[in-house]
Amino acid sequence: MKMTGEAKFFIAIGVLVLVGVGFLFATSARPPSGPGATPAAAPTPTALTAALVDELYAEARHTKGDKNAALTIVEFADLECPNCRRAYADTVKDIEKKLPTKFAFYHLPLEMHPRAVPAATALESAAKQGKFWEMYAELFDQKSEPLTDEVFEAAAKKIGLDVAKFKTDLAADDVLSAVYKDRDHATEHNINTTPTFLVKDKNGAVTSVAGAGAFAELFKDLQDGAITAKPAGAPPAGAPPAGAPPAP
């Protein structure tokens, strides 16, 4: 089989492309990073209003607490985020014992956390058996790192799920889709930090805080379901904390 002119033409194109790619690799500079780098433009925050908090609560697939409560809290969190776990342990765990609250949860799995999406699907799989909040408590209380499939399975057994069904549901498309729909809500409202809490008090005043410490302070200052003070480190009331660096 002799080398035809067409074959030589193809080889020439291939060599040219290889040389071009090699040249691009050799000359491309890495984007600047570190303290001196120019930060990416922060997204424009969506205005935070009482109507938005009500809408997010109404659209949430996972809510708990007293539906007649005057205080509404919407949480955006990621199960692999240490700050979210701290917020759960410090405040969220006992929130309803302290104040009548309407509480809603949205998944916001951050890209930096490789086990955040699998953990969120574990919550959704548990939700299919009506035990979302039991799994939520179990996984936020979880001390194991990382959140492996074995950890999910052990949690499923502990809260009394049908483990076979739970494992099947983990891989179901609708389960993953539910997680991403939640994340889309966060993206839509420029919420990109975990945990983020949107709060509407009994007077209709609203605020948002990001981080475990800020939420603990805010909650401590909630007196009889009314926001009395802006906690240190909180973003300005009227806007979610968009543009803040994501929690590790």
Partner 1 sequence: MKNPLYNRVMFVLSLAGLLIAGYLWFLHATHGDVPCGGSSGCDKVAQSPYARFPARTGPYVAAYGTLGYVGLTVLTFLRTLGGGPARDRVLLGLIVLGAGIGTIFSLYLTYLELNVIHAICKWCVASQALILAVLVAGVVELLQTHSFKSVSSSSSTGEPLTE
Using alpha carbons, select from 205, 176, 179, 209 the residue that is nearest to residue 191.
209
Residues in Cβ contact with 162 at an 8 Å cutoff, skipping those fewer than 6 apart: 129
Output the smallest distance, CB 23 to partner 1, in A.
13
- Nearest approach, Cβ of residue 5 and partner 1 (Å): 7
Could you tell me which of 40, 41, 45, 39 has the C-alpha nearest to residue 236? Answer: 45
Rounded least distance, CB 16 to partner 1, Å: 10
- CB-CB contact of 127 with 176 (8 Å): no
The yes or no reply on residue 117 touching partner 1 (CB under 8 A) is: yes
Residue number, 31 or 130, with CB nearest to partner 1: 31
Q: H or E element: which one contains 180?
A: helix 173-188
4 binds partner 1 (CB under 8 A): yes
Neighbours of 38 (CB within 10 A): 7
Instruction: Kindly state the smallest distance separating residue 174's Cβ from partner 1, in Å.
Output: 8
Task: Mark 163-202 with x for binding to partner 1 (rule: CB under 8 A) and - for no binding.
Answer: --------x-x--xx--xx-xx--x---------------
Residues of this chain that bind partner 1 (CB under 8 A): 1-7, 9-11, 13-14, 17, 21, 111, 114, 117-118, 171, 173, 176-177, 180-181, 183-184, 187
